[in-house]
Structure 1
Amino acid sequence: MTEATGKPAETGRFPPVIVMGVAGCGKTEVGSALARKLGAEFVEGDAFHPPENIARMASGIPLDDEHRAGWLDTIAAEIAARTARGATVVATCSALKRRYRDRLCSLNPNLVFLHLALDRQASWERVQGRGGHFMPSSLVESQFADLEPPSADEAALRLDALLPVDTLVEQAAAFLRGRPGT
């Protein structure tokens, strides 16, 4: 049974998933709910940031490609290790640029991205309104400056991040049902 719905978790093989998007789009909430629905292991990408990345962002300084490289490699390795032992994995990661997604896919060729899309104002309001997170609302603009939405040739689904979480999870699960597992 899933905690969120009281319904049984889905069974079957699903490809590894990254719930992606700019700050405030709901990656953690949607990703953890999707993991429960699929009976998957949830990986919170922010937990893999080194302390220097967190300090940088908390100070209002955006990460650049160099600062993100090791973080992306760590997330990719974590997903690969878990899928190698047979787990279904749902992870979160901003994965803002195509080259970041390609880097994540280098260890996980079946990786699927769920892009939670929303506008700058909604992102800013959400980030401004949340407490206890290292990402200040002053960095929202830098997130949009880096964002390269997935292209048609990527294994990705764009979702409207303003929809209810249950709706997003259902849309994501329907998309994943049609994809080959690991």
Structure 2
Amino acid sequence: MNTVVFIMGVSGCGKSTIGNLLAKELEIPFFDGDDFHPESNIRKMSNGEALNDEDRQGWLETLNDLAKKQIENNSCVIVCSALKQKYRDTLGFGIQNQTKWIHLTGTFDQIYKRMQNRVNHFMPSVLLKTQFETLENPENAISIDISFTPNKLLKR
């Protein structure tokens, strides 16, 4: 049975890096949720404003549609912050039995330092605090501490 592996966590925790590596290792497609944000969301975040539930809803539904289309033919990896349980419910709607969740975890300071080193990303590090405040730790996910190097993380 085809599966969608969702990799979640706050911005800057390494979702794209780990997702890309995992997809290559499994030889399945990789999708970065950031690539599917509408321009209005990107503009809002670029201006240092946190997205609200209404801003996210259409984006989450788009990712759910993508997941449903992908698993018709193949498994895939999709990375997305998915900070609240209701966001994860939307992402997995109709495909709950075909989803796996990986939660990348780290400390605020650890991730803030990483974000300071990122270039060409629309999410400013000032929004990290709101992401940590919004995060509802998932119950049904594999939690992985980001203290390890990406390749070591993948082996866990």
User: What residue identity is the alignment partner of 1:73?
Assistant: E
Q: How many Å separate the matches in 1 of 2:58 and 2:153?
A: 30
In the other structure, the counterpart of 2:101 is 113
**Structure 1 residue 107, shift from structure 2 partner:** 3.1
* 1:138 correspondence with 2:100: no
8 Å contact 2:2–2:71 — kept in the other structure?
no
* 1:167 correspondence with 2:152: yes
Q: How many Å separate the matches in 2 of 1:14 and 1:124?
A: 35
**Structure 1 residue 161, shift from structure 2 partner:** 1.2
Q: Per the alignment, do residues 164 and 14 of structure 1 end up closer, same or farther by CA in structure 2, a change over 3 Å counting? A: farther
Q: How many Å separate the matches in 2 of 1:83 and 1:170?
A: 24
In the other structure, the counterpart of 2:60 is 72
Higher relative contact order (CA 8 A, sep 6+): 2
In the other structure, the counterpart of 2:3 is 15
In the other structure, the counterpart of 1:8 is none
**RMSD of aligned Cα (Å):** 1.0
Please point out which of 35, 40, 49 is paired with 1:47: 35
Q: Calculate the TM-score normalised by the size of structure 2.
A: 0.96
Q: Percent identity?
A: 38
Q: How many Å separate the matches in 2 of 1:112 and 1:49?
A: 22
8 Å contact 1:39–1:88 — kept in the other structure?
no
Q: How many Å separate the matches in 2 of 1:53 and 1:108?
A: 26
After superposing on structure 2, the runs of 4+ consecutive aligned residues of structure 1 that deviate more than 6 Å are none
User: What residue identity is the alignment partner of 1:161?
Assistant: I
**Structure 1 residue 14, shift from structure 2 partner:** 5.5
Show structure 1 runs of 5+ residues with no match. Answer: 1-12, 172-182
User: What residue identity is the alignment partner of 2:89?
Assistant: D
Deviation string, structure 1 residues 99-127 (Cα, Å, up to 9, x no partner): 11111111321211110001111111111
Q: How many Å separate the matches in 2 of 1:77 and 1:14?
A: 15
In the other structure, the counterpart of 1:57 is 45
8 Å contact 1:77–1:107 — kept in the other structure?
no
Larger radius of gyration: 1
User: How many residues matched?
Assistant: 155
8 Å contact 2:15–2:79 — kept in the other structure?
yes
Q: How many Å separate the matches in 1 of 2:2 and 2:26?
A: 8
Show structure 2 runs of 5+ residues with no match. Answer: none
SS in structure 2 of the partner of residue 106 of structure 1:
coil
Deviation string, structure 1 residues 46-102 (Cα, Å, up to 9, x no partner): 000000000000000000111011111101110110111x21100100010011111
Q: Calculate the TM-score normalised by the size of structure 1.
A: 0.82
